[in-house]
Structure 1
Amino acid sequence: MSEAAVHATPGPGASPHPADPAGGGGHGHHHGSLGKLAVGAIGVVFGDIGTSPLYAMRDTFAGHHPLPLDPLHVFGIVSLMFWSMMIIVTMKYVTVIMRADNKGEGGSLALLALINQSISGKRWSAGIVLLGVFATSLFYGDSMITPAVSVMGAIEGLAVYRPGLAPLVVPMVVGILVGLFFIQSRGTAKVAAFFGPVMLLYFAVIAVLGGLSIAEHPQVMVALSPHYAVELFLADPFRGFLAMGSAVLAVTGAEALYADMGHFGRAPIRISWLALVLPALVLNYLGQASLLVRHPEALVSPFYFLAPEWFQWPLLALASSAAVIASQAVITGAFSVTQQAIQLGFIPRMTIKYTSLNAGQIYIPVINWALMIAVILLVLVFERSSNLTAAYGIAVTGAMAIDNVLLAVVVLQLWNWRRWQALPLLALFFALDAAYLSANFTKIPDGGWVPLVMGLSIFTLLTTWSKGRALMRQNMAEGSIPFEVFAKSAHSSAARVPGTAVFMSSTAHGVPSALLHNIKHNKVLHERVVVLTVAIQDVPYVDDADRFIVKQFGEGFFKVALRFGFLEETDVPSALAKISMCGEPFEMMKTSFFLSRQTLIPSSKPGMALWREKLFAWMLRNAASAMEFFRLPSNRVVELGSQVEI
């Protein structure tokens, strides 16, 4: 791990972007007509929530806490699902949270970076940061469970229509998922062009099937009234509360609306949700309710039994395609979140490959193979989607509850809403999410422990890395000398040789250890010596005008600070080529990059627990090289080792 570790730090080039409560503006990288973007959003954003009808209704009535199949419970659950979609998805995410953008970008980390600009230094800011990191940790758990439960829920239709083929379900699911992960390195730009039309057809089909079933029992439409949900809890409060653990499956994927805002913009996502996705889901859930009231035996799979016999196999193929698309969207999301976390200093540097000219199309091998192993293990261990849904709920409701806390900070601190306006709305969101989270806690013995263990493990890794880097930078700064003093004394104490030497530094203060080692052992200095700091800002993109700051010290000594947004590629040579204030332009064939590779040694300093020090040292050893991460030319890099205590 080089001393040039990326660190997030606000600077003049990162003036806080005002979260726009009116919902306008933004600087995301979405391009195209509104209709084209809306179709694209249907293909990427709504895959997770769109495949929920495969298992949500079934698991609510036949899951770990089964309910009686009578009109009271059926109508009550449909009412609960409908109003959950209206409050959590439509009100909370589509209407409110999507107005909190970080220069057009959304998601927990983007929101956390935005909040960090306004609360940094306050006594409760560390707690908010930890909550945001834990939400990210839960997202990784969700990224492992979603492909397993979505594809399994779809392929189980095979056993629904042909029970004798049930033994083939797990092998087929594993085969599909392995193939899906193996094609990630080739990029998904070409395949993604089909995502929108396929999902458009899928939502149209499930809406029509739901509508046809409703026509058989139109009375089910009254279930849209909220009083049926209230009546369910009044008549059967305990089982109604337990049923919330499965009913929440109807809103899984709601956070994707916010996370993918930067790719499509607010308007296309809102239009897609309100005009197509929400009506299609409501019609399908009502259709399943109508079917269950008329034919309780259809509980084996109320989604697949909505189809007439001649359409069963086409529905199986279409639902399987939708499940694969939903999985692809989650995998791509995991890559994007990892890139943000690396840039913001929560994850060690990893190899990031760009699979197309679109900056959003990236591939991270370590994340891809780790996800694949985890997903396959989940499929093999749980074997049925109904067993996995217990694990699914906690990851989703946990992340949603944390989003509420972040939203409260935005509403009260950034937007300065009056308390009498904000508190009732926040109380509604907190109450509903708390109820769903509490209901899911009852499923911990049935598999709910999986995302908790995953989340806590990833949270430990992320916080250990962040804390270890902070301690390491602090230790290195303790014995450093001011660069101004060094520049005045060093130019006459060593021979000067032609060319440019760029010494990468993780801090803007002091002299990099690589520079000290070079002059100590080689006793030479290049004609031009540049100390380079790469700083990642709390904004997704940095304008070219704010890309760099140059400070000259005379005698060929310079300090350069490069700024990148947390969604940008840290291409150092390309950025240096645009700098003209350091004398002559930078020519890579005349420039050498000096990096310092640290080795941690045991220390009695009160920094971290010994086991965390060892964990940090392991992460440090396995981090991708700075040369690759910063796109440095391999034949122009020199690494010098040093030992550090933390």
Structure 2
Amino acid sequence: MADDLTSTEKDESKATWAKLSLVALGVVYGDIGTSPLYALRECFQEDHAIAASHDHVLGVLSLIFWALAIVISTKYLLFILRADNEGEGGILALAALVTSGDLQSENRRWIIFTLGLLGGSLLYADGMITPSISVLSAMEGLEVAAPALEAYVEPITIAILIGLFLFQSKGTASVGAVFGPVMMIWFAVLAIMGISQLIQAPQVLAAIHPAYAIQMLSENGLAGYLVLGSVFLVVTGGEALYADMGHFGKRPIRTSWYCVVLPALLLNYFGQGAFLLRHPEGAVNPFYLMAPGWALYPLIFLSALATVIASQAVITGAFSLTLQAIQLGYSPRMKIRHTSAEQIGQIYIPLVNWALMFACIGLVLGFRTSNNLAAAYGVAVTITMVITTVLFFLLTRMRWNWPLPLALAVSGAFLVVDLSFLGANLFKVSNGGWFPLLVAGGAYALLSTWMAGQRLLARRIRERALSVELYIADLMNDPPTRVPGLAVYMTGNPVGTPSALIRNVRHNKMLHEQVVFLTVTTVSVPHVRLAKRFDLEEIGEGFYRIQIDYGFMDSPNIPLTLATIPADQINLQGEDVTYFLGTERLIATARPGIAVWRERLFAWMSRNAQPATAYFSLPPDQVMEIGSQVEL
């Protein structure tokens, strides 16, 4: 019986693994899976002065092969995926993992989190370009099928993008199940298209030898080096792959890559190369031109579906990144809606959604073609990959205790590749690469200002805060009237007396029978179990101190967490519980701290943040807000 049970469990495990691997095709590999639409084509554009000659085609294919082998197959799949923060991935999760524990100094933690913040800002920038270039490149197939339809490419692209973003509020749980099968069909079509061309020019497979890549780079000088900026387009989904690890786990992501995605991509890229060996004039759009005429419209339709799925993955990734930033204290509170009762990762953030939508529409109208957009694509994500490698090196040394030579050898090898791609992409800045850098700079200014402002505000509050124990002792010398009920005062300083309590006692001359000082913190792990979130301390005289810990992927719900505290310790489930919130009116000053303009920006962001009542799921009819003025 035990053996049968074990066999059954193994079968269920295999079934779950297979299902997750299939779904991962749509969510994890949508971005990198649609790169064949434009990546190889961009390597032979006029800006690079590289003609689609025999040697150049083999050289570019060799670069593509080794880029996929080194950056995705080795760096991300074998090494970076090991850097999971209790199952969660992404650059902010990596920064939190590096700084977890009490061994790092405050300055070192700040530097590491700043690197993570910069990497996250850069991902926002490229996240705006991915939907635009993916959908636009798919619709440009209409120009190949019927040149007269060229004028309709932009309007159709914009219509698809608007529909995509309007759908976000409904959630993806209902259609997520079809993502994997659709992408399976997509990768199968990629492979079939490639094989049909490889049969006619199998000599292109010689490009697997790295000598062709080395020869092209050495013989073409700067022009050959600049091609790396376009070759990089084949690996732009690496960071998204890492960020989605928490949804599927390492094994399904690796299985999907090695068994489906990598073979299909290589077959298609080499198939496009085989086509170019016979038809070098087809470099303007080899993906669609190598397809038979009868298959063009079905291929355009399938490409549109694949690019919408790829865009969906990027958008949901932006939502997850924003949630992490809010929880870790990098971003002001925003309205967050959960679109699935079963999947905690299914969230919708309206502000981020509409910002991405208008940015994507603006990009399509401004750049007009995927060729122009490709000039802007990749600049930001290359910098993010460099930051990821640096953080990974710090992780291997500070947390995994790797020997210095080993850590340097592994991270150094990846860093050489990352910096090579970065150098080539920097030449794109004047041709459109300025856009993602501008967006990333703006995002970083906002997020870093919020982080610095929060630190400054906490310091200002601590400067004038009274010790809880001293305040209670002084209060009991001439106690105010105690009224029935329980008051919960939320405070960011667990040892200082909340100003809301001081003002309430001073003006109302009363004090509840039971008073709780509640501090909410976000820890450097994705999730904290409900039963393990709180720490209760009785101070005396009816006063208590409670600390609640949430993971950076948890959605705060204070009443739900307080309800887990045993009633024999303190009853926090009744309707006589009143939550007191201190609302600070922030005033920018010339006092030492941060620049005045940043103080004003922080004050503006604070005024427009989501109210604490909604963010912490507090019952509105049990909340009282007491204002105060704080000079920054």
Instruction: Determine if the TM-score, normalized by the shorter chain, exceeds 0.5.
Output: yes
**Deviation of 1:585 (Å):** 2.1
Distance (Å, rounded) in 1 between the aligned partners of 2:553 and 2:72: 26
Out of 295, 306, 318, the position equivalent to 2:302 is: 318
**Deviation of 1:588 (Å):** 4.4
Most deviating of 295-304 and 222-231: 295-304
Q: Which residue of 1 aligns with 2:454?
A: 469
Letter paired with 2:52: L
Q: Which residue of 2 aligns with 1:334?
A: 318
Q: Which residue of 2 aligns with 1:382?
A: 367
Q: Which residue of 1 aligns with 2:40?
A: 57
- Any conservation in 2 of the 1:60–1:66 contact (CA below 8 Å)? no
**How do residues 247-326 of structure 1 correspond to structure 2 at under 5 angstroms?**
247-326=231-310
Letter paired with 1:552: E
Letter paired with 1:321: L
Specify the SS of the correspondent of 1:564. strand
- Any conservation in 1 of the 2:578–2:624 contact (CA below 8 Å)? yes
Out of 394, 407, 426, the position equivalent to 2:392 is: 407
**Deviation of 1:367 (Å):** 0.6
- Any conservation in 1 of the 2:142–2:150 contact (CA below 8 Å)? yes
Specify the SS of the correspondent of 1:568. coil
Specify the SS of the correspondent of 1:532. strand
Q: Which residue of 2 aligns with 1:88?
A: 71
Out of 510, 518, 524, the position equivalent to 1:524 is: 510
Distance (Å, rounded) in 2 between the aligned partners of 1:199 and 1:92: 24
- Any conservation in 1 of the 2:562–2:573 contact (CA below 8 Å)? no
**Deviation of 1:640 (Å):** 0.8
- Any conservation in 1 of the 2:26–2:182 contact (CA below 8 Å)? yes
Q: Which residue of 2 aligns with 1:454?
A: 439
Q: Which residue of 1 aligns with 2:82?
A: 99
Specify the SS of the correspondent of 1:183. helix
Q: Which residue of 2 aligns with 1:44?
A: 27
Distance (Å, rounded) in 2 between the aligned partners of 1:302 and 1:521: 76
Distance (Å, rounded) in 2 between the aligned partners of 1:566 and 1:126: 17
Distance (Å, rounded) in 2 between the aligned partners of 1:484 and 1:382: 63
- Any conservation in 2 of the 1:482–1:509 contact (CA below 8 Å)? yes
Q: Which residue of 2 aligns with 1:599?
A: 585
Letter paired with 1:605: R
Say yes or no: does 1:68 pair with 2:51.
Answer: yes
**Deviation of 1:309 (Å):** 1.3
Distance (Å, rounded) in 2 between the aligned partners of 1:167 and 1:338: 36
**Residue 174 and residue 493 in structure 1: after superposition, are their counterparts in 2 closer, same or farther (change >3 A)?**
same
Specify the SS of the correspondent of 2:199. helix
**Deviation of 1:122 (Å):** 6.5
Letter paired with 1:595: L
TM-score, normalised via structure 2 length = 0.96
Q: Which residue of 1 aligns with 2:485?
A: 499
Say yes or no: does 1:440 pair with 2:431.
Answer: no
* Number of residues of Structure 1 aligned to a counterpart in Structure 2: 617
**Deviation of 1:410 (Å):** 1.2
Distance (Å, rounded) in 2 between the aligned partners of 1:485 and 1:420: 54
**Deviation of 1:63 (Å):** 5.5
Distance (Å, rounded) in 1 between the aligned partners of 2:405 and 2:381: 29
**Alignment RMSD (CA, Å):** 1.4
Q: Which residue of 1 aligns with 2:535?
A: 549
Q: How far does the alpha carbon of each residue in 1:539-562 deviate from its partner, in whole angstroms, 9 at most, with x for none?
A: 001134431111111221111001
- Any conservation in 1 of the 2:559–2:573 contact (CA below 8 Å)? no
Specify the SS of the correspondent of 1:445. helix
Specify the SS of the correspondent of 1:580. coil
Structure 1 residue runs without a partner (length 5+): 1-29
Q: How far does the alpha carbon of each residue in 1:105-160 deviate from its partner, in whole angstroms, 9 at most, with x for none?
A: 11000000011125630654433221111000001001111111111111111112
Q: How far does the alpha carbon of each residue in 1:386-411 deviate from its partner, in whole angstroms, 9 at most, with x for none?
A: 11111111012111111110111112
Out of 187, 192, 196, the position equivalent to 2:171 is: 187
TM-score, normalised via structure 1 length = 0.94
**Deviation of 1:424 (Å):** 2.2
Distance (Å, rounded) in 1 between the aligned partners of 2:464 and 2:305: 59
Say yes or no: does 1:345 pair with 2:346.
Answer: no
Distance (Å, rounded) in 2 between the aligned partners of 1:59 and 1:53: 10
Say yes or no: does 1:397 pair with 2:382.
Answer: yes
Specify the SS of the correspondent of 1:351. coil
Distance (Å, rounded) in 1 between the aligned partners of 2:53 and 2:236: 25
Out of 417, 434, 443, the position equivalent to 2:402 is: 417
**Deviation of 1:32 (Å):** 6.9
Most deviating of 301-310 and 99-108: 301-310
Question: Which of the pair has the greater relative contact order for Cα pairs under 8 Å at 6+ separation?
Answer: 1
**Residue 123 and residue 578 in structure 1: after superposition, are their counterparts in 2 closer, same or farther (change >3 A)?**
closer
Percent of residue pairs identical: 48
Out of 572, 579, 600, the position equivalent to 2:558 is: 572
Letter paired with 1:560: I
Q: Which residue of 2 aligns with 1:242?
A: 226
Distance (Å, rounded) in 2 between the aligned partners of 1:586 and 1:32: 44
Specify the SS of the correspondent of 2:43. helix
Out of 477, 492, 513, the position equivalent to 2:499 is: 513
Distance (Å, rounded) in 2 between the aligned partners of 1:465 and 1:624: 14
Distance (Å, rounded) in 2 between the aligned partners of 1:64 and 1:597: 55
Distance (Å, rounded) in 1 between the aligned partners of 2:303 and 2:405: 45
- Any conservation in 2 of the 1:79–1:224 contact (CA below 8 Å)? yes
Q: How far does the alpha carbon of each residue in 1:65-123 deviate from its partner, in whole angstroms, 9 at most, with x for none?
A: 24111111100001001100000001100000101111111100000001112563065
**Residue 510 and residue 232 in structure 1: after superposition, are their counterparts in 2 closer, same or farther (change >3 A)?**
same
Most deviating of 395-404 and 542-551: 542-551
Distance (Å, rounded) in 2 between the aligned partners of 1:304 and 1:570: 48
Letter paired with 2:486: T
Q: Which residue of 2 aligns with 1:645?
A: 631
Q: Which residue of 1 aligns with 2:154?
A: 170
Distance (Å, rounded) in 2 between the aligned partners of 1:63 and 1:279: 30
Specify the SS of the correspondent of 1:621. helix
Structure 2 residue runs without a partner (length 5+): 1-12
- Any conservation in 2 of the 1:552–1:582 contact (CA below 8 Å)? no
Distance (Å, rounded) in 1 between the aligned partners of 2:313 and 2:544: 44
Distance (Å, rounded) in 1 between the aligned partners of 2:448 and 2:36: 36
Letter paired with 1:117: S
Q: Which residue of 2 aligns with 1:115?
A: 98
Q: Which residue of 2 aligns with 1:355?
A: 339
Most deviating of 578-587 and 552-561: 578-587
Letter paired with 1:341: A
